[in-house]
Chains A and B, each alone.
Chain A
Amino acid sequence: MPNTNTEFKYKAREALKDEQLQQALVGVKQGLVNNRLDAIKVVPEFESFRNDAAAVKQHVLENLDLYLEEFEENAISSGAIVHWAKTAEDARQIILDICKQNNAKNIIKGKSMVSEEIRLNEALKNNGLDVVETDLGEYIVQLADEPPSHIIMPCIHKTLSQITQLFRKNHTDIHKADKNYSVADIVNEAREVMRRKFLSADIGIIGANFLIAETGSIVLVTNEGNGDLCSCLPKTQIITTSIEKVLPTLDDASLLLKVLARSATGQQITSYNTLLTGPKQDNDKDGPEEMHIVLVDNGRSKMLKTELREMLRCIRCGACLNHCPVYGSVGGHAYNSVYPGPMGSILSPAIEGLEKYYDLPNACTLNGRCESVCPVKIPLTKILRHLRNEQFKKRLNNKSTRFSLKLWSFFATRPKLYHRFNSLFINALNIYINILNRCSAIPVFSSWLKSRDFAPSQQKTFQQIWQSRKEND
């Protein structure tokens, strides 16, 4: 029996009390949600884009081995070196070996959720390497020694004054302690610090949004341009990516880029979309001499066998986080996993085991907003429900939950008994409420009713009303 059951609940409770976090989360709920709405309003065919995008990603999954082989072949003929990593540990080892072979010391990184997933930074640091995240949000959480709290907005939980304090502590040589920092000042200071890092790094590690089978290329999407600097300045380039990111053709990439930008930030197109193919070519003035592509599996080929399969369509846009009422109330850190929100509640148990992330499939109200905005139409609630069933089968729930579920299922599968019990229950409830004049005092439900109220009952059950109407007709 796992004892992590209370982890999410505990962290969520803390998060609800954190005023700065709550203030930051308003921005997610309003800013990002509205940006997306504005961006799709001007594209009447957006729904068709979603259907097509879902179909392309599904098709890839149904032929994943073939597209990976095609990608590999073309990547190798463009001069790239392709590595395969079955587990997170394997991936870390491959990357450490490349660093060692290159006698690397200074490493700059672009944003990559796969590298978070395989906990790369820790491994590099433990091996004496200096690693700097260059995406501003990632850099800020790195300074704070925290994990990202959102997959596209890593420091969404931090306020300007918290960030200023971090910079004051870390940029002692250039920070002006007496100055009142604006957002522009912060960005400029980060730019100055980072530029030195860019120009002196030995290795650039970046992620990939898509891999193109047709050409063996990588598609990289950023707004800051940091990923591009990571990829054109250092003499060695490492791309950490995962096997489900492959797409058949460049045309498929155009489609996916359309839905990605609008769903993620509400832009018509992201500032920088880059197609990288192979290392530096003859006489080029910049570009890496070596391009390494690390294809990480880490549980994905296993997911393909299960009902979690469709989750592999995910393009990490973050829309499901932005539209999730649970994420919107507790933020990303409460999930205690690399991937938060609805997509994380599926991916983290899938990758690292339901036992470890036992709580997450329950951190959901099954309201379905997430899947109504998902650009690749992943049936998130269906998959979450499936995970809950798995929990039950594996006996991961605690005793009282199992008992209540069994009790409920006993009645629910016996309709007559159910209706009789239901009307008895309603009557008892009404008597109780009349005496106490308060819903929240109902025993058993007291913790559920702490933060919400119970609608007064209709005196009769639906079935009773239905029956009497039928008789009147």
Chain B
Amino acid sequence: MTDLMYLNSKQRTDILGDIKLTLDDLGLRKERKKNNLIDKNTASKDINIEKFKKCIIDASATISIVNSPDNISLEVKTFLHDKNISSPIAIIDPQLFDEIDGHGLNITNEYDRNDITVSMTKAWMAIEETGSLIMKSCPRNPTSLNFLPDYHIVILDRNSIVHNMNQVWKELRESKKSLPRTINIITGPSRTADIEHTIQLGAHGPRSLHVIVI
């Protein structure tokens, strides 16, 4: 192991030293210029939920908008019924579990990665411009819940939709907490076009993604 570490630090010095020499010798170092376009004029405008909806649908996901958390379970029931699914919904977030519990849905708070057909998770934020959902990993929100199931249901608070990705980064910087291990920016279900350019959903991750906006 010490040999390895020695080797690593030698290679590091070699590579960085080489780059430093080149940049200084050739006089390549220059100050950074400002970008022309940093998402101007968007911050003040209202979120256009119709635009968001269209982007979600364009990305082959589905979306429904409900007025109160009480209506979530009805939405979910319809969704599962349409897809003919009877498997339990994995919900690890205790708060979300409590909200959904007692409304006649088959749910489980057990995390068994070998057996997840449907999952329900909460989005931290979303992006209007592209219809993307932002998921932050934490003990209540394991990343794999976004990828293992065949059917993924996401609950999104309407007030947490922002215009663009840079606003997500801004929020992240302002929250002053250390970064979560994973931030997923999810736009539609999993897909592949590797075979004869045919787009096929459900490559490894969810075959379908349903967003419920409150």
Return chain A residues, CB-CB under 8 Å to B148. Answer: 229
Interchain CB contact under 8 A, A52 and B203: no
A254 lies within 8 A of chain B by Cβ = yes
Q: Are B18 and A228 in contact (CB under 8 A)?
A: no
Taking each of A56, A156, A285, which has the highest tally of chain B beta carbons within 10 Å of its own beta carbon?
A285
Given contacts A52-B35, A281-B180, A285-B111, contact A228 B205 (CB under 8 A): yes
CA gap between A268 and B196 in the complex, in Å: 21
Q: Count of A-B contacts with CB under 8 A?
A: 230
Does A278 count as interface, using CB distance less than 8 angstroms?
A: yes
Task: List residues of B (170-214) whose CB comes within 8 Å of A's CBs.
Answer: 172, 178-198, 200, 202-206
Instruction: Check if A272 sits within 8 Å of B185, measured CB to CB.
Output: yes
Query: Cβ of A285: which chain B residues have Cβ within 8 Å of it?
Result: 92, 111, 139, 142, 144
Give the docked Cα–Cα distance between A186 and B194 (Å): 11
Residue contact B14 to A255, C-beta cutoff 8 Å: no
- Please pick, from A51, A272, A274, the residue contacting B36 in the complex, using a CB distance under 8 A: A51
Other-chain residue from A159, A191, A271 in contact with B191 (beta carbon distance below 8 A):
A271
Interface residue? A86 (CB, 8 A): yes
Q: Write out the residue numbers on chain A whose beta carbons fall within 8 Å of the beta carbon of B12.
A: 84
Q: For B166, what are the chain A residues with a Cβ–Cβ distance below 8 Å?
A: 250-251, 254
Q: What string of 1s and 0s marks CB contacts (under 8 Å) between A277-299 and chain B?
A: 11111111111000000010100
Looking at A60-68, A346-354, A384-392, the stretch in contact with chain B turns out to be A60-68
Q: Mark the stretch among B25-33, B79-87, B153-161 that contacts chain A.
A: B25-33
Binds A, one of B45-53, B64-72, B98-106, B130-138: B130-138
B192 and A187 form a contact (CB under 8 A): yes
Contact for B15 among A186, A243, A254, A282, CB less than 8 A: A243
Asked whether B23 lies within 8 Å of A257 as measured between CB atoms, the reply is no
Q: Indicate the member of A158, A225, A270, A297 with the most B CB atoms within 10 Å.
A: A225
Question: What distance in Å separates the Cβ of A44 from its nearest Cβ neighbour in chain B?
Answer: 11
Partner of B37, one of A49, A163, A186, A302: A49
Verify if A27 is at the interface (C-beta below 8 Å from B): yes
Contact at B192–A65, with CB atoms within 8 Å?
Answer: no
Give the size of the chain A interface in residues (CB under 8 angstroms): 97
Q: Is A160 an interface residue (CB 8 A)?
A: yes
* Interface size classification for chain B: 35 or more
Say whether A134 faces chain B, with CB atoms less than 8 Å apart.
yes
Report whether B165 and A65 are in contact in the complex, using a CB–CB cutoff of 8 Å.
no
A274 and B139 within 8 A (CB): no
Query: Which of B7, B172, B204 has a CB less than 8 Å from the CB of A225?
Result: B204
Least distance between B39 CB and chain A CB atoms (Å): 8
B38 contacts across to A, CB distance below 8 A: 251
- One of B16, B36, B137 near A48 (C-beta < 8 A): B36
Interface residues of A in 255-270 (CB under 8 A from B): 255, 257, 265, 268-270
| B-facing residues in A35-56 (Cβ within 8 Å) | 45, 48-49, 51-52, 55-56
Q: How far is the CB of A214 from chain B (nearest CB, A)?
A: 9
A27 cross-chain contacts in B, Cβ below 8 A: 196-197
Interface check A419, CB cutoff 8 A: no
Q: Is the C-beta of A203 less than 8 angstroms from some C-beta in chain B?
A: no
- B43 at interface, CB cutoff 8 A: no
CA of A83 to CA of B7 in the docked complex: distance in angstroms? 10
A473 to B35, CA, bound (A): 52
B158 to chain A, nearest CB (A): 21
Looking at the assembled complex, report how far the CB atom of A22 sits from the nearest CB atom of chain B, in whole angstroms. 14
Cα(A304)–Cα(B183), bound, Å: 33
Q: Does B189 lie within 8 Å of A226, measured CB to CB?
A: no
CB of A140 within 8 A of chain B? yes
- Shortest Cβ gap from A100 to chain B (Å): 11
B55 — which chain A residues lie within 8 A by C-beta? 268
Q: Which of B35, B130, B142, B180 contacts A286 (CB 8 A)?
A: B142
Chain A residues in contact with chain B, CB under 8 A?
24, 27, 31-32, 45, 48-49, 51-52, 55-56, 59, 61-65, 68-69, 78, 83-86, 90, 94, 97, 134-137, 140, 153-156, 158-160, 163, 183-184, 186-188, 190-191, 194-195, 198-199, 215, 217, 223-226, 228-229, 231-233, 243, 248-251, 254-255, 257, 265, 268-287, 295, 297, 301-302, 304-305
21 intermolecular pairs with C-beta atoms under 8 Å apart? A48-B36, A64-B23, A68-B19, A69-B16, A134-B204, A135-B194, A136-B203, A224-B191, A224-B205, A226-B204, A228-B143, A228-B146, A229-B147, A229-B205, A248-B32, A269-B132, A274-B182, A274-B183, A277-B181, A287-B137, A305-B26
Q: A160-B196, A195-B204 are in contact. List 5 more A-B contacts (CB 8 A).
A: A48-B36, A153-B193, A243-B19, A271-B189, A272-B187
Closest 10 A/B residue pairs (Cβ): A225-B205, A137-B194, A224-B203, A283-B139, A254-B165, A250-B169, A285-B142, A273-B185, A225-B190, A84-B12
